[in-house]
């Protein structure tokens, strides 16, 4: 008889004051020290992406207390809306002029998700995997100090998942959103924009061409 699948034991959230330990001594540093070292430059693509997930989570009041690396979507709103998030910006951690913001979102076509309980990938209709996409842009230019923590320096383009899936693209520049009349919104307006995009996703999902 095969062993029943077991969930991964939960991990207690760390506190920035938690200290590293060693029986031989010398571990005079904390989790906060590590976070400051790893995330000192929030222009880095990895750090910027995680920051934006956090900003969206705070905007919608997500219940999850910590980011889950292998979740089948980035954020779940309290009403069950599943959200995927992408981030970009003009200012990058490497040198040079302002970059041209762009986004890659090949996962819009994904027909699998990771089942943590079963420990394997499961099939899913690409149209049902998530509801809404949020494309975040930090508008700080390289000629100015980078303001990752100033929410007024962020703008967000919110689109229904089924609409993006039907566009058939795996990447886009800002011109893509301009062509389709997708206007940016500020952080404070994210909850309403996400709510409206979810309603539009559900409407399109019921349309005859989507079954």
**HSE value, Cβ hemisphere, 13 Å, CA-based, for 182:** 24
pLDDT for position 9: 60
CB contact burial 38-65 (16+ within 10 A = b; e otherwise)? eeeebbbeebbbbbbbebbbebbebeee
- CB neighbours of 12 closer than 8 A, spacing ≥ 6? none
Weakest mean pLDDT among 9-13, 39-43, 50-54, 140-144: 9-13
pLDDT higher than threshold 60 for residue 210: no
Closest CA to 106 of 150, 171, 45, 160: 171
Q: Helices in 61-173 by DSSP H: which ranges? A: 161-167
How do residues 124-181 score in pLDDT, each as one tens digit?
888 999 999 999 999 999 888 888 899 999 999 999 999 999 999 999 999 999 999 9
Mean pLDDT across the stretch 22-30?
89
pLDDT for position 186: 98
pLDDT for position 92: 83
Mean pLDDT across the stretch 100-111?
92
Residues in the chain: 211
How do residues 64-94 score in pLDDT, each as one tens digit?
888 888 788 999 999 999 999 999 999 888 7
Mean pLDDT of the chain: 89
pLDDT for position 144: 87
Tokens of 191: 């909850």
pLDDT higher than threshold 90 for residue 53: yes
pLDDT for position 168: 94
Name the phi and psi angles at 182, rounded to 5.
Answer: -85, 105
């Amino acid at each position: 008889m095969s062993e029943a699948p077991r969930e991964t034991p939960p991990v207690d959230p760390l506190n920035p004051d938690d200290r590293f330990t060693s029986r031989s001594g010398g571990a005079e540093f904390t989790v906060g020290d590590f976070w400051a070292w790893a995330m000192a430059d929030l222009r880095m693509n990895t750090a910027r992406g995680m920051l934006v997930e956090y900003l969206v989570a705070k905007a919608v009041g997500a219940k999850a207390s910590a980011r889950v690396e292998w979740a089948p979507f980035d954020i779940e709103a309290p009403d069950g809306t599943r959200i995927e998030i992408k981030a970009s910006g003009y200012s990058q951690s490497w040198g040079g002029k302002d970059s041209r913001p762009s986004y890659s979102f090949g996962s819009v076509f994904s027909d699998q998700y990771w089942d943590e309980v079963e420990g394997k990938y499961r099939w899913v209709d690409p149209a049902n995997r998530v509801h809404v996409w949020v494309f975040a842009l930090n508008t700080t230019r390289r000629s100015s100090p980078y303001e990752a923590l100033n929410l007024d320096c962020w703008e967000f383009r919110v689109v229904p998942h089924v609409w993006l899936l039907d566009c058939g693209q795996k990447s886009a520049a800002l011109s893509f959103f301009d062509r389709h009349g997708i206007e940016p919104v500020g952080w404070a307006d994210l909850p309403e924009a996400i709510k409206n995009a979810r309603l539009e996703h559900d409407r399109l999902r019921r349309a005859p061409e989507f079954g």
